Structure 1
């Protein structure tokens, strides 16, 4: 057995980027900016052969002594194993929404502030590659039964991208008329793709217990079986329902918790300008409130600004994030946080920008003490993959295993600031309890849907009627669940895992949180093992 070679990370990433070049762009590697993913005949067989050869090389090495190398080796083996299983039982090439998302973000990823300045040659190359990419992808799917939600999402994205390319891309600051031929051809290709997949017959989206268990065990590092996770989440969901009733009664015996939460939409700025200013102001308040609990990343900038005009329409139809941390391989000095400007309905904008929502979702979960600090700390992680595993790509996280720490932290820190006296009102704490209950609900849908216990219709009804999701959000949430098994259970299980670790931590609160984040984007269960190995945890 040969020694571990850190250069294996380079081999792993090159293999990954060969088949996922848009991921490379989001991660900050520019070598693949001119390419789209290969989708032709034989691609999956070629990828699988390379996957197995690389897995064998890495598995033949001993466990490294250095913690960063040890985590890198572990993540590579887990990701390769799950990717190989996915090729066999759940190929991404069979999902039209993967095709539409990759084609869309192949272009958009080159136009974001994180990749400025625009590289015109790369942009034109990707635009020119879109017609063949979508045509080959649609031909490969043919009339194979495909979950209807995936098809609907793909068609919506494709038609929205056609409009973006014909109209809104010209609003980009770096737009040039020499993009026109390629962008018009690409727009036509998106329209043709939407038409080609319109009549595909429906299919069950369940991935099955074996594949879901593999994700939970290998990618997330969880010791729970799917059935055990459902049991725990169901008990928590029911308990939190009772807690919400009790919390509301303590505030006003004549108002339900639903009424109290609805009332929060009326508390906030009185004007658009005040709403815009509130994002930065509340973010600063959150950082101050976090003092003594965690060390916010004040050295890494967070620039709140209005969303660029060219993206305002397309952001409504794609997995388009208002906060996206800069590429881990090209982090720069800070991050852009886009605020979607009001449309014709200013009252709706002000309601959506209410103080409670800006405070919990934008300023805490995503902002200064949430994802922003987490991403800044990840840049200095000892593990190379931990610096980029949490990169948001066209469909979600680059490496799903990082999710229990990433989403676990952002949800956990919402509740953490309840320990800062006066930061939240009692009514806002009810909102947080609703968020926590929704995350437990998502575990139930994620697992029951993929075990075949619930139909998509049952999942929709549960989210709408029991979990209290907004009706406009329910269909999209179920489609996301169905496309990405194991991607929604990581929120609630991540929070619960952090709470458990904190109870075992031997030192003070700030050192726990700062140490936790220092590991970067890695499965929470593996971080726990490393903390235990370092003697930092009680039994």
Structure 2
């Protein structure tokens, strides 16, 4: 999150930590309780801070009871890997000496951290897929520390760092060996969080006004409707909608012009949104498209390594970086346009993050930061992913930006998001097993095999995360429905609140955005 004073640290994970954390969280809740009744007298930002903090504390306490993160091997490998990698990402204002000190601190701490992981995991019932994913990540980290780390231009290969990296790699390799052997887990360990916890996450953390069964009914109705609309819309092309999308997928840019293609559609999306009065795009907060650096090429294939990561709110600087992967065939022009340029760049996450950095709620500036396994605050999800998916459709209101074929692709994306919402709900309600979820992803969503396993494994670890895409989009549509004639005012007002549950904002009449838009 960019908060000062912690860059040299990895989290504690010994046997005493769970009780310590529970005590600390309960003490924070007790300190917070007297503040809640008087919230009406506070500013809007302070009220939102209190609500976000209350929800986050209750969420963390509930997870301690249900599934403490110390029982998830991928928490350790994700924290360790991104504890190192996050230091190597662009760091506004950081000096080489500060980087070296932080890197040395974390490298020296890896043996302790992984030893505590082995102790905690030895007492846990591990799902086999979680152990397998963590073993892959530990192996990738070991490989990274032995080779790619030294390709980073700001990492000096001095003796002290070399020794620390070697010991960290050995600790990671040892943990990977354990996770493939005595800690490999079992396929029959249940992963569903259950209806009561899912209802809690939806109502109290995401701030939704309904629970999982109503959400499931809505998503299944939408999936059926969208499937029928895709079939009907495709008649204009004289072929099945999937064939139309395969035709789009065949149109790919020249690999030599890949970065320029990303930049072009990013600029075009910003221009179209501004010209049509849809939203104020990020003006003074830059986005640079650069090739994936040599130091990250291999490790990015094995980890939850995002090509665009939310800039650390406490150290956001004047712009962000978008990695462009140049290995293998390039993505289609349409995929670059819809996903990379609109969803993540331009008016999607990029503009959203620029607005959020000025939000009156301090926690709403931080909550949508990308962590090792996902967003720092689950409560940010309907705003973060809901907006980015909504932004894709928003550009349909800019005449000529999308082709008719791309409009069909957009509808297929919404159908996919409704299907993934269904899968998330049915898995954690206990209606489906992981195998059932995977078959649904295969037959109804059409994910490639490699993504099916990765997506479903992550879903099993993090309940109520996949549903936030489609339900978040629906919440923003509901927010806008009463202000159809003022899209820019509504959207700027929404984004100015930062990463907070969308439904908490719906009862409040939209107001004009702060003058000047995002920085």
Give the TM-score range, shorter chain: over 0.9
Match of 1:58 among 21, 32, 42: 32
Counterparts in 2 of 1:158-169, with a 5 A limit?
Answer: 158-169=138-149
Counterparts in 2 of 1:241-320, with a 5 A limit?
Answer: 241-252=227-238, 255-269=239-253, 271-291=254-274, 292-320=277-305
Counterparts in 2 of 1:97-108, with a 5 A limit?
Answer: 97-108=74-85
Calculate the aligned-residue CA RMSD, in Å.
Answer: 1.5
Match of 1:207 among 167, 175, 193: 193
What is the CA-CA distance between 1:212 and the residue it aligns to? 1.2
Residue matched to 1:516: 494
Counterparts in 2 of 1:324-335, with a 5 A limit?
Answer: 324-335=309-320
Match of 2:477 among 495, 499, 505: 499
SS in 2 for 1:529: coil
Residue matched to 1:176: 156
Counterparts in 2 of 1:141-160, with a 5 A limit?
Answer: 141-142=121-122, 144-160=124-140
Distance in 1 (alpha carbons) for counterparts of 2:438 and 2:509: 40
SS in 2 for 1:47: helix
Counterparts in 2 of 1:20-419, with a 5 A limit?
Answer: 27-61=1-35, 62-63=38-39, 64-114=41-91, 116-118=94-96, 119-142=99-122, 144-178=124-158, 179-198=161-180, 199-202=184-187, 203-252=189-238, 255-269=239-253, 271-291=254-274, 292-342=277-327, 345=328, 348-349=329-330, 352=331, 354-419=332-397
Distance in 2 (alpha carbons) for counterparts of 1:210 and 1:288: 46
SS in 1 for 2:91: helix
- Cα gap change, 1:245/1:506 in structure 2, threshold over 3 Å: closer, same or farther? closer
Contact map agreement 1:240 1:437 (CA 8 A) in 2: yes
What is the CA-CA distance between 1:507 and the residue it aligns to? 5.7
Structure 1 ranges of 4+ moved more than 3 A: 114-118, 529-532
What is the CA-CA distance between 1:506 and the residue it aligns to? 7.4
Residue matched to 2:517: none
Number of positions where the alignment pairs a residue of Structure 1 with one of Structure 2: 499
Contact map agreement 1:412 1:495 (CA 8 A) in 2: yes
Runs of 5+ consecutive residues of structure 2 not aligned to the other structure: 514-519
Cα displacement string for residues 434-461 of structure 1 (whole angstroms, at most 9, x for unaligned residues): 1101111111111111111100000000
What is the CA-CA distance between 1:114 and the residue it aligns to? 3.2
Distance in 2 (alpha carbons) for counterparts of 1:520 and 1:38: 30
SS in 1 for 2:347: coil
Query: With structure 2 as the length reference, what TM-score do the two structures score?
Result: 0.94
SS in 2 for 1:210: helix
SS in 2 for 1:305: strand
Distance in 2 (alpha carbons) for counterparts of 1:503 and 1:360: 24
Distance in 2 (alpha carbons) for counterparts of 1:135 and 1:124: 18
What is the CA-CA distance between 1:428 and the residue it aligns to? 0.7
Distance in 1 (alpha carbons) for counterparts of 2:401 and 2:374: 31
Cα displacement string for residues 462-488 of structure 1 (whole angstroms, at most 9, x for unaligned residues): 011012222221111101110111111
Contact map agreement 1:213 1:225 (CA 8 A) in 2: yes
Cα displacement string for residues 83-127 of structure 1 (whole angstroms, at most 9, x for unaligned residues): 001111110000000010001111111111136545111111101
Residue matched to 1:432: 410
Contact map agreement 2:22 2:64 (CA 8 A) in 1: yes
SS in 2 for 1:177: coil
Distance in 1 (alpha carbons) for counterparts of 2:297 and 2:95: 20
